Amino acid sequence: MKLPSFKDLILFENDEVIIVNKPPLIASVDERSGGEVNMLRLAKSYWDDAQICHRLDKETSGALIFAKTPESYRSISMQFEHRQVKKVYHAVIDGTHAFEDKLVDLPIANLGKGNVVIDKYEGKRAETIFNSIKFYKHFTLVECQPKTGRMHQIRIHLATQRASIVADEMYGGRYPMLSSFKKGYRLSKDEVEQPLIRRFALHAYEVSFKLLNEQEITITAAYPKDFATLLKLLDKFDA
């Protein structure tokens, strides 16, 4: 995979923060295996004192905030801690689901090694609001607003609604195949069909928070190519 230039990913920058549109399949920070390029390393190559203010799963794309100063880092960290940062994600899910301000309030327990479960006794409170944006015959584009920041929160909360994100095998999502909904789709004898997207279709679409001067900013991150292509194909063949 060709590594992007960090500068080309920047959506907003001032003396306090850098907000980038994180590509899919690049980790936010060092993984246990080590050695791989990640967003924090890329940020520090651009700005030595950059600190990451939150994390996105490796497969998740979208808006990611870095602080340029200790003061900014403290301020944004406190806003996250007090649930004052508004985060909006978009996801493509299996099936048709009419969510209208649907609140999922189910506690999540972190078992370690990237595994979480819904646990009403040992879990920590987790809340997500879901709204359907667009309906297809076999899929739905949904808006997800996590009010808390638990690991895999959006993914596992959608799975509890029998609305797993496409290609999210960990939580029951299926890889979307064009043959499953395009009429007359045929492969030649030697062809092997490839999924329409190779990672779970979750994108951090928008983030809002306050700068040190109390000015609120809202930054929107455009869909990456794979997510946009998936929606284009659904618009054409599954609407």
User: In the chain, where are the structural domains located?
Assistant: 6-237
| DSSP helix/strand/coil, 159 | helix
Query: What pLDDT, in 10s, does the model give residues 114-141?
Result: 899 999 999 999 999 999 999 999 999 9
pLDDT value of residue 123: 96
Q: Please determine, looking at this structure, whether the domain spanning 6-237 carries the CATH number 3.30.1330.10.
A: no
Identify whether the C-beta of residue 205 lies closer than 8 Å to the C-beta of residue 211: no
pLDDT value of residue 177: 95
pLDDT value of residue 110: 94
Query: What pLDDT, in 10s, does the model give residues 198-226?
Result: 999 999 999 999 999 999 999 999 999 99
Q: What is the dihedral of CA 219, 19, 157, 77, to 10 degrees?
A: -110
* Exposure string over 21-44, b if 16+ CB within 10 A, otherwise e: bbbbebbbeeeeeeeeebbbebbe
| CA proximity to 226, closest of 61, 71, 104, 101 | 61
Q: Which residue has the tokens 């995979």?
A: 1
pLDDT value of residue 33: 55
Burial of 104 (0-12, 13-18, 19+ CB in 10 A): buried
Asked if 30 is an active-site residue, the reply is: no
pLDDT value of residue 1: 59
Q: Which residues of the chain have pLDDT under 50?
A: none
| Catalytic, out of 8, 30, 48, 57 | 57
Q: What is the pTM of this model?
A: 0.95
pLDDT value of residue 214: 96
Whole-angstrom CA distances from 103 to 81, 91, 160, 166 are 20, 16, 12, 21
